[in-house]
């Protein structure tokens, strides 16, 4: 293959059989179970990179079920999003994500810089309880419960919250491991969102220590809310808002 053909055909790895197709990526019946909790502010400041700013010691722990997504198929996800501000705008910093499907792991990391790692999250309904769990191998790392559809939420308010921007730290190393070749703050938003249902109820969350999935580094001091949202949406592509290597 000639060099011009390489650059013309290159999209993602591997060259001749990329792990994921080009976007946009549309999700149908994407289901969010989110526990918002108060945590240790000092631990929070250790993991949120400048120029993002932490305003409150709050974390959103998410379990997400995606049964129908363009190019990525059917999979589940779990992780932590930290409410932050960037240049005065409110949004979320995606701190940790664990999922059970190769193509969105590869695509999320290579395109946007999502901090995705392989694990086994689940979101199910057990009688009158919404249940989220995250296992890394045989070890349970997170577990959450919520009373199933106890009270309806205002869909317009939920839609507004889903429209807020999110930020990611995209890191690609040099081939010789001498440091990052790319180190960027990437912004993205959810687009064309339809809220098909939204509820709240009593919730509980527990996090367990794990050497390679340190979600318990941000401990649960107080559960503030539990919500369950069903949507259709498009995962918007990202753009770079800060280049760490250009500041050196």
Statement: residue 23 has pLDDT above 80: yes
Looking at the chain, which runs of residues are DSSP E strands? Answer: 25-38, 53-54, 58-69, 73-86, 89-99, 116-118, 120-126, 129-136, 139-147, 151-152, 166-173, 180-188, 190-200, 203-207, 222-235, 239-243
Q: What tens digit of pLDDT does each residue of 51-86 get? A: 999 999 999 999 999 999 999 999 999 999 999 999
Buried b (16+ CB within 10 A) or exposed e, 189-203: bbeebebeebbbbeb
* Residues 19-34, mean pLDDT to the nearest whole number: 96
CA distances from 241 to 98, 115, 169, 173, 183 (A): 25, 17, 10, 19, 11
CB 99 within 8 A of CB 118: yes
Domain 22-247 has CATH 1.10.10.10: no
* CA 148/CA 124 separation, integer angstroms: 11
Q: What tens digit of pLDDT does each residue of 169-200 get? A: 999 999 999 999 999 999 999 999 999 999 99
Q: What tens digit of pLDDT does each residue of 193-236 get? A: 999 999 999 999 999 999 999 999 999 999 999 999 999 999 99
Q: What is this structure's pTM? A: 0.96
**Which residues, 6+ apart, have CB-to-CB distance to 23 below 8 Å?**
70, 71, 111, 235, 237
Identify the pLDDT of residue 143: 98
Statement: residue 247 has pLDDT above 80: no
248 — pLDDT class (breaks 50, 70, 90): low
Catalytic residue among 116, 122, 127, 170: 116
Domain limits, the chain: 22-247
User: Any catalytic annotation for residue 116?
Assistant: yes
**Burial group, residue 11, by CB count within 10 angstroms (0-12, 13-18, 19+):** exposed
Structure tokens at 1: 């293959």
Q: What tens digit of pLDDT does each residue of 104-150 get? A: 999 999 999 999 999 999 999 999 999 999 999 999 999 999 999 99
């Amino acid at each position: 293959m000639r060099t011009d053909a390489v650059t013309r055909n290159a999209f993602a790895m591997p060259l001749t059989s990329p792990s994921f197709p080009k976007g946009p990526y549309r999700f149908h019946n994407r289901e969010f179970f989110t526990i918002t909790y108060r945590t240790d502010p000092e631990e929070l400041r250790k993991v949120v990179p400048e120029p993002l700013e932490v305003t409150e010691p709050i974390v959103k722990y998410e379990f997400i079920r995606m049964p129908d997504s363009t190019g990525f198929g059917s999979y589940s996800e779990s992780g932590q999003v930290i409410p932050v501000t960037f240049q005065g705008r409110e949004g979320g910093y995606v701190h940790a994500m664990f999922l059970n499907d190769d193509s969105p792991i590869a695509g999320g990391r290579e395109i946007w810089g999502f901090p995705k790692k392989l694990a086994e999250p689940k979101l199910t309904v057990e009688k009158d309880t919404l249940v989220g769990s995250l296992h890394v191998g045989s070890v349970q790392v997170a577990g959450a419960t919520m009373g199933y559809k106890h009270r309806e939420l205002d869909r317009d308010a939920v839609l507004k919250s889903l429209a807020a921007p999110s930020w990611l730290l995209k890191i690609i190393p040099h081939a010789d491991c001498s440091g990052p070749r790319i180190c960027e703050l990437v912004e993205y938003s959810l687009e064309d969102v339809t809220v098909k249902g939204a509820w709240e109820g009593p919730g509980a969350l527990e996090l367990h220590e794990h050497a390679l999935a340190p979600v318990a580094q941000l401990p649960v001091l107080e559960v503030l809310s539990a919500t369950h949202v069903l949507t259709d949406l498009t995962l918007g592509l990202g753009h770079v808002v800060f280049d760490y290597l250009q500041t050196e």
